[in-house]
């Protein structure tokens, strides 16, 4: 993760690391706050049970966006958002549809074989389609957490599919119990979920459309800021020798970005790097 000289180490730019993770997206929140005019009626919301609000799990893949020298976006870094759903014919007729109409149903139990099929059939083809043409020779890493449903980094079916079309795509796992090391948990999920709630979907299909729309509309410059926050968190983790007891640092990224001084790579204190190495050698 580090490069540069021993006296001036810095994090790599991380442009070749794709972060993936799953997250539940709900049709609505249990509690909502509204600002109403004096004569305005309160919104009327209904569901079968407020404790079992309809939801869909999505697999999201995001890498760092790229910009040219003029700060123009050349690659959004948005690999894709993939809902865990199935399409089945309706068994009975209703006022909304006739029997036999294809309906979308959420997969409520996502197991390892499902995750493997999504990686091979959806994520990898999308990476090959969207990856910048001038960077096809670099090794691409897909970073996942250590959930039980995730496949091993040396899964034979994945490894076979990951080398198609001369691509070199590898799977790696992040440090256990460290959600801040994944940009999706660090800020991406909460941001697109806030955008999704503005759509007020009524059906599973509308929920999927709302999540996809929120994903596509999320500004790339904000994704880039999250990657800067990731590197800052990694520095803090080293300071506390791997503990989660730290505060996410703030460096006023928006202001630095406005004046053209937002760093792509965060520098590290060489003394801190040596202290971490000594600590690891003691264990």
Domain annotation covers residue 262: yes
CA 169, CA 156: separation in Å to the nearest integer? 13
pLDDT at residue number 266:
94
Domain count, the chain: 1
Q: Supply the pLDDT for residue 123.
A: 97
pLDDT score recorded for residue 283: 63
In a domain, 138, yes or no: yes
pLDDT at residue 97 in the model: 83
- Residue 234 and residue 11 in contact, taking contact as beta carbons nearer than 8 Å: yes
* Inside any domain, residue 32: no
| 71 lies in some domain | yes
What pLDDT is recorded for position 6? Answer: 82
Q: 140 lies in a domain? A: yes
Note whether residue 131 is domain-resident.
yes
Q: Any idea what the CATH number is for the domain that residue 180 is in?
A: 3.30.420.10
Per-residue pLDDT of the chain (283 residues; tens, 9 = 90+): 788 888 889 999 999 999 999 999 998 888 888 888 999 888 777 777 878 888 999 999 999 999 998 889 999 999 999 999 999 998 888 887 888 888 899 998 999 999 999 999 999 999 999 999 999 989 999 999 999 999 999 999 999 999 999 999 999 999 888 889 999 999 999 999 888 888 888 889 999 999 999 999 999 999 999 999 999 999 999 999 988 899 998 899 999 999 989 999 999 999 999 999 999 887 6
Residue 37 covered by a domain? no
Domain that holds residue 234: 2-25+54-282
What is the DSSP annotation of the chain?
A: -EEEETTEEEE---TTEEEEEEEEEESS-SS------TTPPPP----S-TTS--EEEEEEEEE--EE-TTS-EEE--EEEEEE-EEEEE-SS--SS--TT-EEEEE-S---HHHHHHHIIIIIHHHHHHHS-GGGTTS-EEEEE---TTSPPTT-HHHHHHHTGGG--EEEEEPPTT-GGGSHIIIIIHHHHHHHHHTT---SHHHHHHHHHHHHHHS-HHHHHHHHHHHHHHHHHHHHTTT-S--------HHHHHHTT---SS-B--HHHHHHHHHHHHH-
Q: In what order do the strands lie in the sheet with 55-63?
A: 78-83, 55-63, 17-26, 140-144, 169-173
On whether residue 7 sits in a domain, the answer given is yes
pTM: 0.91
pLDDT recorded at residue 231: 95
DSSP per residue, 119-146: IIIIIHHHHHHHS-GGGTTS-EEEEE--
C-alpha 88/C-alpha 202 separation (Å) is 19
């Amino acid at each position: 993760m580090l490069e540069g000289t021993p006296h001036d180490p810095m994090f790599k730019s991380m442009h070749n690391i794709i972060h993936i993770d799953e997250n539940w997206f709900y049709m609505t929140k249990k509690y909502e706050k509204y600002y109403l005019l004096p004569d305005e009626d309160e919104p009327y919301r209904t569901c079968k049970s407020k404790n079992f609000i309809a939801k869909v799990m999505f697999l999201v893949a995001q890498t760092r966006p790229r910009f040219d020298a003029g700060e123009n976006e050349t690659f959004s870094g948005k690999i894709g958002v993939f809902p865990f759903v199935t399409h089945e014919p309706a068994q009975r007729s209703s006022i909304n549809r006739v029997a036999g109409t294809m309906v979308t149903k959420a997969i409520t139990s996502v197991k390892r074989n499902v995750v493997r099929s999504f990686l091979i059939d959806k994520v990898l083809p999308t990476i090959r389609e969207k990856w910048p043409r001038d960077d096809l020779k670099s090794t691409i890493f897909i970073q996942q957490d250590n959930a039980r449903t995730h496949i091993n980094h040396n899964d034979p079916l994945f490894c076979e599919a990951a080398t198609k079309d001369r691509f070199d795509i590898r799977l790696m796992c992040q440090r256990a119990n460290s959600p801040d090391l994944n940009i999706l948990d660090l800020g991406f999920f909460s941001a697109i979920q806030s955008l999704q709630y503005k759509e007020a979907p009524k059906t599973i299909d509308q929920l999927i459309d709302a999540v996809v729309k929120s994903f596509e509309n999320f500004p790339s410059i904000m994704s880039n800021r999250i990657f800067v926050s990731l590197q800052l968190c990694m520095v803090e983790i080293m300071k506390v020798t791997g503990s989660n007891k730290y505060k996410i640092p703030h460096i006023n990224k928006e202001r630095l970005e406005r004046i053209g001084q937002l760093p792509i790579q965060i520098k590290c204190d060489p003394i801190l790097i040596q202290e971490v190495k000594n600590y690891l050698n003691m264990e």
